[in-house]
Amino acid sequence: MTGIVFEGVTMLADDVAGMAEFYEHALGFEVAVREADYVALGTGAGVRLAIFRRSGMGRHTHDHPSFREPRRGQAVELNFACASPEEVRTRYAEVVARGGVAVAEPVERDWGQIAGFFADPEGNVHSLFADLPA
């Protein structure tokens, strides 16, 4: 028996095209598959990021009730590593300029990194971060 391999993350969305456009243009991911209800993005890290229409999950999950209820609260945070504190600041500004919502500007955190937080078009809050120089 082989071990389990973490292959990807699928985010559920009401506006698949809008979310895909944001991740493609604001974060630079390449679209590998683009369909009306599903988009797969290459992250360059060997992990697939997919976006799937929330209303479509019911037919794949025996109509599980969580896909019929309105979304409430944060379900997942994606963390994007940058090479330097300067890159965090630059990319944060680019993400916000391309439709991301500024949540917390990049600042040096007490855990030894610079981190900034932004929301995507559906309100999911994610971070850009880099280790601080020693």
What pLDDT score was predicted for residue 4? 67
104 forms bridges with which residues in the sheet? Answer: 117
Q: How many CB atoms lie within 10 A of CB 47?
A: 12
What pLDDT score was predicted for residue 63? 81
Q: How many CB atoms lie within 10 A of CB 31?
A: 13
What pLDDT score was predicted for residue 112? 94
What pLDDT score was predicted for residue 108? 97
In angstroms, rounded to a whole number, what is the distance separating the alpha carbons of residues 24 and 86? Answer: 22
What pLDDT score was predicted for residue 75? 67
Q: Tens of pLDDT along 63-114?
A: 878 777 777 777 678 999 999 999 999 999 999 999 999 999 999 999 999 9
Q: Tens of pLDDT along 40-73?
A: 998 777 889 999 988 888 777 878 787 777 777 7
Q: Is the dihedral of CA 100, 103, 107, 112 positive or negative?
A: negative
Please state whether beta strands 38-42 and 48-53 pair in parallel, antiparallel, or not at all (unpaired).
Answer: antiparallel
Q: How many CB atoms lie within 10 A of CB 29?
A: 19
In angstroms, rounded to a whole number, what is the distance separating the alpha carbons of residues 82 and 27? Answer: 12
pTM comes to 0.82
In angstroms, rounded to a whole number, what is the distance separating the alpha carbons of residues 90 and 97? Answer: 11
User: Residue 115 in contact with residue 107, Cβ under 8 Å?
Assistant: yes
Q: Tens of pLDDT along 1-34?
A: 667 677 889 998 989 999 999 999 999 999 999 9
What pLDDT score was predicted for residue 71? 72
